[in-house]
Amino acid sequence: MRWSRTIQTVDVHCEGEIGRVITGGVLNIPGATMVEKLLHLNTVDDSLRRWLCSEPRSGPAGSFCLLTPACDPRADVGFIVLQPDQAHAMSGSNAICATTALLETGMVPMVEPESVVRLDTAAGLVTATATCEGGKVVKVTLDMPPAFVAQRDAVIETAEWGPVRYDLCFGGVFYALVDVAQIGLTIAPKNARALATIGVELRSRIAAVEPAAHPVEPALSGLAYVMFRSDEPDGALRTCTTLRPGRADRSPCGTGSNSSMAVRHARGLARPGERVVSRSIIGGEYVTEFVEETSVGPYKSVRNRVSGQAWIYGISQIGLDPSDPFPLGFTLSDTWGG
């Protein structure tokens, strides 16, 4: 066997959402900051993401967590999320996966009862506090990037569902938060395909008219996802983030939960210390705690903590045979959509 490229991953899921953490084979990405590294991956050289995230080495579900040397001297490691559509600045579920892998494999020494891992992301420093028992990470709490609402009750006109209202929010990436009742569905496993298809279509239509401009860092601009939401009888928030090319997030979505708390704050419904449970399409739960008010550019913002758990399920080695006819992978519409 001869490979021209090899990487190692620790394979993790966070409440069902796959985050494969790259622990070897990638030395660094060009750029003096995590923002520059993100831009390099998305605008200069996309080959690593395409190689890993496309078939036959992967598929539409799940992400790869790219770890690099930190640019911020306060951080332990740099962190970028590679997904089938592009590289992203931040993801709560993937940050929980990465923290769990770093501690449980000993890449960062585990200290009980709490270990702290600081992630350098393009959206800012994210501090992960892991609750550890018997060599196992049983909870990870993320101090998330400041979240804000850029637009409340914006409207996109549609032929299929009439006027669809959404809140445009930033929680590490930009979201359009949509009350799911507007499209005549509930957030339930039986509706996952319909939710994913409609969510990706709505995201495309909103992105065509909404620049989703970040007020401080242009590289963070652009609508990433539509997240459907509904209220549960027990006060929890049921969520379904929809990701290109067309699937439903299995987790309750950390950056989406961060955004949701910003909406509650903007509507006068949240005070420091409040906690909200976010529940996914398959029943996994995160807890979001509103910590304090702050600001990002002209926007009133909030700092939140999001907590969840991840589990390691495998260790993988991925290689590229120099004669492989698909060095950058491929996608087919039967699985990946149009």
| Catalytic residue positions, numbered | 91, 253
CB atoms within 10 A of CB 213: 12
Angle 181-183-188 (CA atoms, 0-180°, nearest 5)? 65
The helix or strand, by DSSP H or E, that contains position 164, with its residue range, turns out to be: strand 162-170
Closest CA to 220 of 208, 231, 212: 212
The candidate with the shortest Cα–Cα distance to 164, out of 152, 156, 172, is: 156
Closest CA to 244 of 173, 163, 157, 151: 173
Q: Please spell the DSSP secondary structure of 289-304, one letter per residue.
A: EEEEEEEETTEEEEEE
d(CA 282, CA 192): 10
Angle at 41 between CA 49 and CA 79, to 5 degrees: 85
Taking the C-alpha atoms of residue 242 and residue 177, their distance in angstroms, rounded to an integer, is 11
